Amino acid sequence: MVKYNEYNQGDVIRIEGIKDKVVIVSKNVFNQFGLVFGCPIYTQGESGPLHIYINTKETEGYVHCEKLKLLDLKARGSICLDRIPINAIVDITDAIQGIFDYI
């Protein structure tokens, strides 16, 4: 088990009690308090504006940006499995930002 303040934006984690892997999308300065924003990674799906395909050595699937969740990692066990590349982090955070744009 990893201490919650050791996670960074772009880390792919497994959280106790959650079936799917989660990618951390919040910035590192936010994560240091034990709360993170994360999006689930599903192995099945189709690419789209809010479903970003990722493929690394350990992780392949679709990040569902519309299913953004605030997760309290102090309350559950978790482990870091992988890290996604910076270009995927940019695509994911851009998609999330697009949900909240005014026009």
Domain limits for position 25:
4-100
The pLDDT score that the predictor gives to residue 74 is 87
Segment 32-86, tens digit of pLDDT: 888 999 999 999 989 999 999 999 999 999 999 999 999 999 888 899 999 999 9
Torsion of Cα atoms, 62 then 96 then 38 then 5, to 10°: 130
At 4, is the pLDDT very low, low, confident or very high (cuts 50, 70, 90)?
low
47/28 Cα distance (integer angstroms): 27
At 100, is the pLDDT very low, low, confident or very high (cuts 50, 70, 90)?
very high
If you search the block for the tokens 């949900």, which residue do you land on? 99
- CATH number for the domain including 72? 2.30.30.110
Tell how far CA 54 is from the center of its chain.
Answer: 11
If you search the block for the tokens 């392949």, which residue do you land on? 60
Residue 44 three-state SS: coil
For 15, left (φ over 0), alpha (ψ -120 to 50), or beta? beta
User: Whole-prediction pTM value?
Assistant: 0.90
Domain count, the chain: 1
pLDDT over threshold 70, residue 2: no
Please state the φ and ψ torsions of residue 66, each to the nearest 5 degrees. Answer: -75, -10
